[in-house]
Structure 1
């Protein structure tokens, strides 16, 4: 009798979710703060909190220790991002398959942020940086899976714009906020925000129950066998998925190989004496602000344009080519003015790419049952370049003795990104 009553309750809950679906607008409005919070954690820690914390503990080895922390973050994030999303693919609960893990990872991220702010040794700071990235990347893999789950294809461009705006707004809001607070409260604020944003999303844009959804088929082999690994990455057997991955990989390689050296490009390539007020720090802030504003404008405009034209692949390819053009500007205009033009073009091209990128990725996922996992794998095309590209950039600079080499590298990789995008067959 109790079993029948329980089954009846579940059916009634499912019926309510069918009768009262959550609108796309509500999902996106509530999704946005969660994405902003995610990038707020990433950017506030890496740009402000982590470097300042390391300097306060031991300034002597600050460059080495910061590099080690970044390497740990990248390795942990690259591994857990697709795994966390894959676990959510298989979750069946009355709250849906994503919601339990969104809250789990948001709580974990918040707690680890608070813990990181309390650390007073370099070793423990690095350990907690890895733990924050563990939970934050789990969160990222799950929150991005909401788009193919719940957003119709005709609205994917707008959804991509919403997620794309998360990065610049995360930088503008939280980098500025934590710069004006102490170390402890900076970590508390970013942790509390991502937790609150996640709670609001789960409460007011609730996911339908997943109890009756079929689980992805299990293969008959050991979970640690080569066959299991091959199955986990089986999406690469599909041409369009592979081309989307390579396009994203090349685009972000171009971006990260150069963005990390903006300060040194201004001081060594342009020359401090050629900067306004002879101030390189203010110069970096100006370049970053122009790039971010151009990026936001492009994201807002082109997400909807991509939906209206239904030409997402073409827009991604064109944005890669414009991105390539931005790296040509400092080569032909070796001046402060050239860097300002570079910032505007680079930011706008990046904004166009971010406006459509997630939409394209969501359309090349080969298996409905493993969308979270495969979207997480595509996200590796961001995390790996973030870890490796600065090393390649520094190697090129040291080998050639010139920053020209990294601009040429950006030109080549941007061009490859556009070519790979055009090779996608199933997306216009």
Structure 2
């Protein structure tokens, strides 16, 4: 990849095209050379002068514009990444069937770099069997097709089909550019990731919790989606934006998380338990706020043990060949405690990191040692949590069989 990565930003004819202006701005301001290739329909929503001004590059839709430069071949050949947003149902169909009736679809046929589609359309169009078949075809060829977000669509409609936020799309573009060829190595793999920290109610106001921010779990979900996986993220009390292409489901307590994990694990190829799960919960939850009475000692809070989700999922694999990854946050005797936990839990990989004194919880970076069920250990040096996540997925990928039964 060149020092100034070449990105082709394909823009489909959907109302969400206006959001892509922000994605373009983020790409250019971070040092990427961006060539915008819209469809004719896209220009009905955002005009050519806007794309040209924001990118600093000429904008064309047809193969006969500046034909002496052979743009229908040259643009795709020189790209480090082709990113299509919004990818309409019509554009996905054309790409899946190899149609080439404009500059963008010709570019898609000539590109030999990673290709990412960010679909946006009404829910009924996304769920239609024809669209789903086209998405499956593109994914089978190595393209990354993100699942659309859930939210407000055009008019009064709400549902799955919304274009993810530009910041989330930019994060995907960066991850794909960082990996380059072979980006979609997790295509067809169904993944469940838990993130954050559970909370156990004491009364309507107070709870037992922990310091987990959920950043590492969110990084695991985001990087898996950028590598082509179908990702369900179980988010426990996290205040972070949803990663692009990820199905996010909210939970609060350990018992809620257990139900969600078991439901997701039933069809998952990989389960990653990155959430910090409370070991104990109050035996009883008072209906009213516990009041402080001057001169009296508060009654002790009796605790009961929460279910051990990681051990249960590891012990009762829902599918043959299912891979289970656990996390261990330790303050001392890190490796000894990690090896003991791996033996107790029975998972395939255990990611062990030291916490406290500004490490791991709430930070943008992390470092870890990954212990394997076979007794090996792999050190992951300190770096952004997205890089740590990618290295964890590298280890997971070596354990995934050639056919997981989910499309691989």
TM class by smaller structure: under 0.3
Structure with higher RCO (Cα < 8 A, 6+ apart)? 1
**TM-score, normalised by the number of residues in structure 2:** 0.21
